[in-house]
Amino acid sequence: MASSLTKDSVRPGTPGSEKTFFGHPRGLATLFMTEMWERFSYYGMKALLTVYLLSGGPNAGKDSMGGGLAMDVATATVIVSVYSAMVYLLAMPGGWLGDRIWGPRKTVAVAAVTIMSGHIVLALPGGQAPFFAGLALVAAGSGLLKANISTMVGHLYDGPNDPRRDGGFTIFYMGINAGAFFAPLAIGTVGQEISWHLGFGMAAVGMAIGLAAFLLGTRHLSPKSNVVPKPLNTEERTSWLRKGLTSLIIATVFYGIVGVSGHFTLNWAMIPLTIIGLVVPAGVLLRIKRDKDLSRTEQSKMTGYIWFFVAAAVFWMIYDQGASTVQAFGEGKTSSSLLGFDFPSSWYQSLNPLFIMALAPVFAWFWVWLNRRGKEPSTIVKFAMGLVLIGMSFFFFVIPLAMAVNGTTVSPMWLVGVYFIQTVGELCLSPVGLSVTTKMAPAKYASQMMGVWFLAVTAGDSITSLLSNPAVAGVDLSGKGAVFGEALLAALAGFAVWMYRRKVKTQMGEVH
């Protein structure tokens, strides 16, 4: 593969064919830079999120500089979980806007401006009002960008059979992990050591760089990215506008009544969003499953796919607590020093992308090596492995939880172990989930099923939010009993998937 930016393209006539980016169309460099800086801003802000919510409150670290929102771990977990759920939920309407109204290119530009605006609002002092407004803008922008920028990467190649396509997506996803790795180190340090709002401001600068890279490099993108694949007609526009205004009025009236009656609390405000995060995934799956246009084979595949979806929701329910429950433990009950070197707790969020970059090539090679010997695990077994491993990470987490009593802090290496096990589980389940989603998708819903896969994250995070919310279940997810229970649930779910592997395999048809 060519590594020069000035070398002729291996396939003249493709977008950007006069120059290459590591042997790929130059448009890949534009999208790589856009995604890297967007992830830099997103994960930098997310690394600060839990510690900022806790700062000044009862569960903050003893060396916290204050100036945060002084919340407890339960409320912080609810907010972080709802935020993550909404990011993935909004990926579906983001993809719809790209397909029906703006086209992918314009949608990504709007998304970048929205994300940057959100980080700017977060950088403003003023307590909860600007904080939640900024968080909502970042979630909306991230949802807009998530589906459309990946679509634009696909547009750079000559269809699914282009031999460079998989390599192009690999380079693209390296940009994601590079941005995610460096963000907590830079933004986390500034936010925790100097000023929270300066840290959020750095995230805005990162997104501004990504937006500039995108706008300057649009000439290298495929013309397809500027096309609206299926534009709305006049009647559809009127219908969708009416639905949008109706939903806005209902939400305004509901929250207005709750506020005027004096019953408004932050935790109660999160409940409708959490319910939406559960109802929408269930409704989408039910609608597809009950579609009479599907053939008997497609119906069978959807039945099998629901197993994978539920398993993935359990996985993400635990995995995403790495940014809430586990991060809160790192902030309040873990030593901030290792081998004489002090570091802010936000650095823990760099561990997962670091392990991904180190282990992903190893896993790719390992599956191929097993396949050549006829021993590669099936998709179902890989899913079961992912669930068991995510359960193991929380079984492991129970140990430092038991050790950190009466003000005792534990070694940060315990959390390194938790994040390492979770990453290994992610590499067993997440890539396989993306693959099986495309393979099992009914022809009628081929372009929508990737959004359905993201809804598993929404469902998992929404369950976490409901469990942790003091206004609903009020489970202390940072307690030893709850962590052990979640670990046991994941392990049993993995065992159940493994036990029923033959039945699910039959439902999958020719997909293996």
Going along 319-458, which residue ranges are E strands?
Answer: 337-338, 341-342
Q: What angle do CA 71, 191, 142 make, to 5 degrees?
A: 80
Which residues on adjacent β-strands are paired with residue 406?
none
Does residue 490 sit in the same domain as residue 344? yes
Q: Are residues 182 and 85 in the same domain?
A: yes
Is the pLDDT score of 149 beyond 80?
Answer: yes
Give the span between the Cα atoms of 30 and 69, in whole angstroms: 37
Residue 482 domain flag: yes
In the prediction, which pLDDT does 4 show?
A: 33
Final residue of a domain: which of 231, 259, 291? 231
Residue 96 belongs to a domain: yes
**Cα three-residue angle 65-67-73, rounded to 5 degrees:** 85
Highest mean pLDDT among 126-130, 298-302, 389-393, 453-457: 389-393
d(CA 307, CA 380): 9
Task: Look at residue 14 and tell me if it is in a domain.
Answer: no
219/304 same-domain check? no
Residue 267 is predicted with a pLDDT of: 79
Alpha-carbon Rg for the chain, nearest whole angstrom, is: 23
pLDDT at residue 71 is higher than 60: yes
Does residue 220 sit in the same domain as residue 303? no
Q: DSSP class of residue 20? A: E
CB–CB of 376/416 below 8 Å? no
Could you say which of 210, 231, 252 is where a domain stops?
231
Kindly provide the residue ranges of all beta strands, DSSP E only, lying in 244-294, ordered along the sequence: none
Q: Are residues 221 and 285 in the same domain?
A: no
Amino acid 422: pLDDT: 96
Dmax (CA) of the chain: 68
* Burial category of 339 from C-beta neighbours within 10 Å (exposed 0-12, middle 13-18, buried 19 and up): exposed
Between 81 and 290, the higher pLDDT residue: 81
pLDDT recorded at residue 412: 94
The answer, yes or no, to whether residue 102 has pLDDT greater than 70, is yes
CA–CA gap between residue 281 and residue 221 (Å, rounded): 33
Of residues 431 and 193, more confidently modeled: 193
Domain count, the chain: 2
Domain span including residue 297: 279-512
CATH number (domain holding residue 380): 1.20.1250.20
Looking at the fold, whether 217 and 306 belong to one and the same domain comes out as: no
Contacts for 372 with CB less than 8 Å, ≥ 6 apart? none
Cα(393)–Cα(391) distance, rounded to whole angstroms?
A: 5
In a domain, 19, yes or no: no
- The token pair that represents 48 in the structure block: 């600060």
Q: For residue 11, is it within any domain?
A: no
Q: Does residue 182 share a domain with residue 295?
A: no
Task: Note whether residue 238 is domain-resident.
Answer: no
CA atoms within 13 A on the CB side of 141: 25
Judgement on whether residues 37 and 143 belong to the same structural domain of the protein: yes
CA–CA distance, 328 with 53 (Å, rounded to integer): 10
Q: Which residue has the tokens 């999120």?
A: 49
Q: Which of 199, 231, 263 is the last residue of a domain?
A: 231
Position 322 in a domain: yes
The answer to whether residues 312 and 436 touch, using CB atoms and an 8 Å cutoff, is no
- Per the CB < 8 A criterion, the answer to whether 187 and 209 are in contact is no
3-class DSSP state of 191: helix
Residue 447: pLDDT band with limits 50, 70, 90: low
Can you tell me which residue has the tokens 């592997």?
501
Q: In the numeric block, which tokens belong to residue 162?
A: 């282009």
Are residue 287 and residue 227 in the same domain, yes or no? no
Write down the mean pLDDT value for the chain. 86
Residue 408 has which token pair? 């005792």
Based on the domain organization, do 442 and 367 belong to the same domain? Answer: yes
Per residue in 244-284, pLDDT (tens digit) is 899 889 888 887 887 777 767 777 888 889 999 999 999 99
pLDDT of residue 338: 85
The number of beta carbons lying within 10 Å of the beta carbon of residue 383 is 27
Mean pLDDT of 90-113: 90
pLDDT single digits (tens) 312-351: 999 999 999 999 999 999 998 998 888 888 899 999 999 9
Higher pLDDT, 507 or 90: 90
Per-residue pLDDT, 196: 92
Same domain membership, residue 206 and residue 73: yes
Q: Are residues 386 and 460 in the same domain?
A: yes
The pLDDT confidence band at residue 12, using thresholds 50, 70 and 90, is very low
Structural contact between residues 80 and 206, judged by C-beta atoms closer than 8 angstroms: no
Among the residue ranges 17-31, 34-48, 214-228, 233-247, the one predicted with the least confidence is 17-31
Tell whether 61 is covered by a domain: yes
Express each pLDDT in 369-414 by its tens digit: 988 888 888 878 888 999 999 999 999 999 999 998 888 899 999 9
